[in-house]
Amino acid sequence: MREKDLKAANGGDSVSELTSWEGGIIQFPVPMDPPLRRVNSYILPDRNGQLTVIDPGPHTPEAEQAWENVLQSAGYSWNNIRDILVTHHHPDHYGLAGWLQARSGGKVWMSERAHDEAQRTWGAEAVLNETLPLYFTRNGMPEDWVQGIREHLERFLPQVTPQPVVSYMNTAEPFIMGNRAWQPLVTGGHAPGHVSLYHGDSGQILCGDAVLPLISPNVGLQPGGEPQPLLTFMEGLRELRGLRVSRAFPGHREPFTGFAERADSLLRHHEERLDTAAALLGGGPLSGFAVCEALFRGRVSSAHQMRFAMSEAMAHLAELVRRERASVIQPEPGGVTLFAAVE
Ligand SMILES: [Zn+2]
Ligand SMILES: [Zn+2]
């Protein structure tokens, strides 16, 4: 069972604490920005002391320091890190991979789809800084929010620099970590090409942000991303809930049991949200921003939260359109797109 405080890192920061779990999985909460505050990195040592790291964290001075402290206190050196597996391209999971690779010489593994998304979002050719604000404007977001989101997007770049050299996982084959064979499972919706890793014999799953306890993973529609993220997210939940899971190791918060029940409650949450959004349109056509404001009223206080809230509202509207519960009213040039209820 759980062996708390396996080895506490002495970085003067209470988050640099390792927890050891069944099967040799080591949980290492890496500091990140609020509101999440921690992202779980997992370390899987093999019999020869070689390490696989899952999701190293964002590239920040605090995360660098936490890694320095933890490796030292656990008696490992950088050279012990052989593989670095990244579940998806978000900065809190992917950001430190390039830095860790430079230190350790480890191989960085991602699905090809997730790496495409990393390049599209953070690479030299990235256009999201322009396309996302434009998309939000067309869907009715006022300029002061759009400007805040523009600035917010630019602030992320240091957290994902340097970019790693990536090897593509063969997601049809088991991936060996800690002397055990883990089955990669690709699901979309939260992030394209998101990989969870499932060990059937023990029932353990490293599920990144595909399923989280206490938090509903963000499902966002963004230009250039998945066209139907809520559909793919819900399909992913239905696939994952069918696994025999003894314990899930998520990207945020604590490892948990009751995996299928958690997936079911996320499915219910999204069905309820769809009904709420459809009821809003029942009062007359609305912009995506108006729906976002009604859905997330009072819970959005920063550009960061607004970006996720708006993308999520757009994902719900796209799903209502797909289900033929809503239709799109295309605007005049320069106007705002509206959504209308289908009777
Ligand atoms: Zn994520
Ligand atoms: Zn995350």
Which mean pLDDT values do the consecutive 10-residue runs of the chain (343 residues) have? 39 60 96 92 97 98 96 93 98 97 98 94 85 96 96 89 97 97 98 97 98 96 94 98 98 98 98 98 98 92 94 98 98 95 90
User: Pairing between strand 26-31 and 19-20?
Assistant: antiparallel
Ligand nearest to the CA of 40: 2
Going by C-alpha positions, the residue among 307, 312, 88, 119 that lies closest to residue 209 is 88
Calpha distance 123→128 (Å, rounded):
10
CA of 331 to the centre of ligand 1 (A): 32
CA of 44 to the centre of ligand 1 (A): 21
> Torsion angle of alpha carbons 132, 155, 118, 287, nearest 10°?
-20
The pLDDT value recorded for residue 14 is: 38
Ligand nearest to the CA of 191: 1
CA of 56 to the centre of ligand 2 (A): 11
CA of 35 to the centre of ligand 1 (A): 13
Calpha distance 297→106 (Å, rounded):
45
Ligand nearest to the CA of 38: 2
Ligand nearest to the CA of 58: 2
CA of 291 to the centre of ligand 1 (A): 23
The pLDDT value recorded for residue 12 is: 35
CA of 302 to the centre of ligand 1 (A): 18
Torsion sign across C-alpha atoms 286, 288, 292, 293:
negative
CA of 71 to the centre of ligand 2 (A): 22
CA of 209 to the centre of ligand 2 (A): 6
Q: With 0-12 CB in 10 A as exposed, 13-18 as middle and 19+ as buried, what is 159?
A: buried
CA of 79 to the centre of ligand 1 (A): 28
Max Cα separation, the chain? 65
The pLDDT value recorded for residue 126 is: 83
Ligand nearest to the CA of 92: 2
CA of 329 to the centre of ligand 2 (A): 34
Q: Which residue has the tokens 């997936």?
A: 263
Contacts of 321-329 with C-beta under 8 Å, sequence gap 24+, read 322/228, 322/231, 323/274, 325/274, 325/278, 326/277, 326/278, 326/281, 329/285
Calpha distance 17→9 (Å, rounded):
6
CA of 313 to the centre of ligand 1 (A): 17
Q: With 0-12 CB in 10 A as exposed, 13-18 as middle and 19+ as buried, what is 8?
A: middle
CA of 90 to the centre of ligand 2 (A): 7
Torsion sign across C-alpha atoms 54, 58, 63, 68:
positive
Torsion sign across C-alpha atoms 294, 295, 297, 301:
negative
The pLDDT value recorded for residue 239 is: 98
Torsion sign across C-alpha atoms 60, 63, 64, 65:
positive
Ligand nearest to the CA of 36: 2
